[in-house]
Chains A and B, each alone.
Chain A
């Protein structure tokens, strides 16, 4: 709390709201991770925190430092862009690994491997 005191109220109010909103979204995602039943349902929950949760906190951080240092501080965009790029990649890799493991064990939760199409069918559609 070194130089947080000199922030005007019009900037402090959205910063406070965005902070609590982002943290609340991250908590919602983690509760979903805890409560949902199967792995394929649980994959969806933490993405709430990785997109909107960290987005709100980054917006709050940008607003706070831009106003308190009276210049544009926009390097938080780096984290936002990086999260947007990496989250789908990691979760798709993870779900593919999980699907492969479940299929190899013959789990009833996942559909079986679809039959390979013949070359003629593949040419048609």
Chain B
């Protein structure tokens, strides 16, 4: 009897996360300045990692965990490199 409860809560969580990613994507496309776009990209990375974890719970497989970890790693590297670029004008000096 717990299967429909888990399925529905995972579906609701996925819809909420998609709405969150929509907000982030709108801010990234619209964002008045470059730092707003970088901030929106960072929040998109985090929301994608959460979405992958919810996928893992919904399908009952642990393989999505690696993808979520990889996305958080890539998000950190990407945001750091973009901040460095905004600060200095080049990434590797």
Query: What 0/1 pattern do residues 33 to 57 of A give for CB contact below 8 A with B?
Result: 1100001001100100110011001
Say whether A110 faces chain B, with CB atoms less than 8 Å apart: no
Contact residues in B for A34 (Cβ distance below 8 Å): 23, 26-27
The residue that A90 contacts in the complex, of B14, B36, B58, B83, with Cβ under 8 A, is: B83
Find out whether the CB atom of B50 lies under 8 angstroms from the CB atom of A20: no
What's the Cα separation between A16 and B9 when bound, in Å? Answer: 5
Contact residues in B for A100 (Cβ distance below 8 Å): 87
What's the Cα separation between A30 and B80 when bound, in Å? Answer: 20
**Given A19-B54, A34-B23, A86-B76: A7 touches B2 (CB 8 Å cut-off):** yes
Interface magnitude class on chain B: 35 or more
What's the Cα separation between A50 and B50 when bound, in Å? Answer: 9
Please tell me the number of chain A residues within 8 Å of chain B, measured between CB atoms: 59
Find residues 1-51 in chain B having any chain A CB closer than 8 Å to their own CB.
1-3, 5-10, 12-14, 16-17, 19-21, 23-24, 26-27, 33-36, 38-40, 42-43, 46-47, 49-50
On B, residues with C-beta under 8 Å from A are 1-3, 5-10, 12-14, 16-17, 19-21, 23-24, 26-27, 33-36, 38-40, 42-43, 46-47, 49-50, 53-54, 56-62, 65, 68-69, 72-73, 76, 79-80, 82-84, 86-87
Q: Given A79-B72, A93-B80, 13 other A-B contacts at CB below 8 A?
A: A2-B60, A26-B47, A30-B23, A33-B23, A33-B27, A50-B46, A57-B53, A65-B62, A79-B69, A90-B42, A94-B35, A96-B87, A98-B86
